[in-house]
């Protein structure tokens, strides 16, 4: 099974977590995009909130009833990918730069189902660089503080190579090359305490279910 086939398999399985009448949170990224497409094919009678402009626009284009969090502040299920899934369904997210809105939408959901291929599952978080969203003017203050924590920060550049990457909220992303995050709770608290940090990509105690696609098909893990 290729990585794309695995992503497609979890995306299809995730659709089973959605029932007519539900309020559904749509994630961001390649796996979430496959989920949104698979969901829209079923023409469900649901209302949706998206975690990025890209997912909002895709949902609207495919005919889903897209709303804002203002219109739909409570969500039954949020379905999204992740960059790493560690013990206890602790996650690193934000490889696609959407971590802030993703965490907001996930926090509004009764249930968060994370959908990944098995290459994302790790014994210890941190091989994937930890994304941190930073207010633009605070960057020169935040970078040395992240360095002092030993997090090896590097500002993300736009994919076009033309200038810095900007999130949907107009902030910078700093990727931290940590290697191993032995104590994610402590790292989350230390990073959050830095003035100018808007949010970080550690999603701890948020996901209740993981759908993991590997050679044996899709397995369901509970957090
Ligand atoms: O900001 C992006 C998100 O956190 C994505 O859900 C994450 O990067 C996983 O993306 P993909 O499904 O493309 O690997």
* Mean local confidence (pLDDT), 201-216: 96
Predicted pLDDT at 1: 86
In the reported structure, the alpha carbon of residue 30 is separated from the centroid of ligand 1 by a whole-number distance in angstroms of 7
Q: What is the largest CA-CA distance in the chain?
A: 51
Residues carrying CATH 3.40.50.1360, the chain: 3-121+204-215
High-pLDDT (> 70) share of the chain, %: 100
Residues carrying CATH 3.30.70.260, the chain: 130-199
Ligand 1 neighbours (beta carbon < 6 A): 27-32, 80-83, 93-99, 102
Predicted pLDDT at 160: 84
Report the C-alpha gap between 105 and 74 in whole angstroms: 9
* Mean local confidence (pLDDT), 90-101: 98
* Closest-CA residue to 44 (of 15, 4, 5): 15
Token pair of 119, please?
A: 């290459």
Is 90 exceeded by the pLDDT of residue 223? Answer: no
Is 102 annotated as catalytic? yes
Q: In what order do the strands lie in the sheet with 91-92?
A: 84-85, 91-92, 202-203
Is 90 exceeded by the pLDDT of residue 162? Answer: no
* Closest-CA residue to 223 (of 82, 77, 88): 88
Token pair of 183, please?
A: 């104590």
Query: Which atom of ligand 1 is found nearest the CA of 33?
Result: 12
Query: Chain-centre distance of CA 223, in angstroms?
Result: 16
Among 5, 16, 102, 215, which one carries the catalytic annotation?
102
| Residue 81 is labelled as binding a ligand | yes
CATH of domain 3-121+204-215: 3.40.50.1360
User: Is this complex's ipTM strictly greater than 0.95?
Assistant: yes
* Mean local confidence (pLDDT), 192-202: 98
What's the CATH number of domain 130-199, 3.30.479.10, 3.30.70.260, 2.160.10.10, 3.30.70.20? 3.30.70.260
Cβ neighbourhood burial of 205 (10 Å; 0-12, 13-18, 19+): exposed
The pTM score is 0.96
In the reported structure, the alpha carbon of residue 94 is separated from the centroid of ligand 1 by a whole-number distance in angstroms of 6
Residue 193 phi, psi (nearest 5): -75, -10
In the reported structure, the alpha carbon of residue 82 is separated from the centroid of ligand 1 by a whole-number distance in angstroms of 5
* Mean local confidence (pLDDT), 133-143: 98
Query: Which atom of ligand 1 is found nearest the CA of 131?
Result: 1
Residue nearest to atom 8 of ligand 1 (CA): 95
Contact between 41 and 22 under an 8 Å Cβ cutoff? The reply is: no
């Amino acid at each position: 099974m290729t990585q794309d086939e695995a992503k497609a398999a979890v995306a299809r399985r995730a659709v089973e977590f959605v029932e007519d009448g539900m309020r559904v949170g749509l994630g961001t990224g390649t796996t979430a995009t496959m989920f949104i497409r698979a969901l829209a094919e079923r023409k469900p009678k649901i209302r949706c909130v998206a975690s990025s402009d890209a997912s909002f626009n895709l949902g609207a284009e495919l005919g889903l009833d897209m709303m804002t969090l203002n219109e739909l502040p409570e969500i039954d299920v949020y379905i999204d990918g992740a960059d790493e899934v560690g013990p206890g369904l602790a996650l690193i997210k934000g490889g696609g730069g959407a971590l802030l809105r993703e965490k907001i939408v996930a926090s509004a959901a009764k249930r968060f189902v994370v959908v990944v291929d098995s290459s994302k599952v790790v014994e210890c978080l941190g091989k994937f660089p930890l994304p941190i969203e930073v207010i633009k003017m605070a960057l020169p203050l935040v970078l040395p503080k992240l360095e002092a924590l030993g997090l090896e920060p590097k500002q993300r550049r736009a994919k076009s190579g033309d200038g810095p990457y900007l999130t949907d909220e107009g902030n910078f992303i700093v990727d931290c090359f940590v290697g191993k995050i032995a104590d994610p709770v402590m790292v989350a608290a230390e990073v959050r305490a830095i003035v100018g940090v808007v949010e970080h990509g550690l999603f701890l105690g948020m996901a209740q279910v993981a759908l993991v696609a590997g050679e044996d098909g899709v397995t369901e893990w509970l957090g």
